[in-house]
Amino acid sequence: MRCSRWFSPAVFSRVAEEPPEEVEPPKLPEIMRLAVLVNMLDAENAIAPAGALCMLSTGAVKENTAYAGGPPRPTRAHRRARAQP
């Protein structure tokens, strides 16, 4: 039995003669790429103080009811008082 017509040398020669089409990739300005990156990071990440959130065994994240907040930030007067002996 001979090969089918799809594998005949004539078909391969026609395919080999056609040059491949060159498709120009879309051009995006750097500011657009940066905007997309920032948007993705904002959507996938969050910042919270250590201890403010807790993860359940199911993987869900919820607010930690035992968290009272971080220590207060020292004021300038406190810093000056600590700096002077």
Per-residue model confidence (pLDDT) at position 77: 73
Q: How many CA atoms lie within 13 A of 31 on its CB side?
A: 0
Per-residue model confidence (pLDDT) at position 34: 95
Per-residue model confidence (pLDDT) at position 68: 83
Each residue of 4-17: pLDDT tens digit? 555 555 555 555 56
Domain ranges in the chain are 50-85
Instruction: Kindly indicate the confidence band of residue 85, based on its pLDDT and cuts at 50, 70 and 90.
Output: low
What is the helix (H) or strand (E) element at residue 62, kind and residue range? strand 61-63
Each residue of 22-56: pLDDT tens digit? 888 888 899 999 999 999 988 888 778 888 889 99
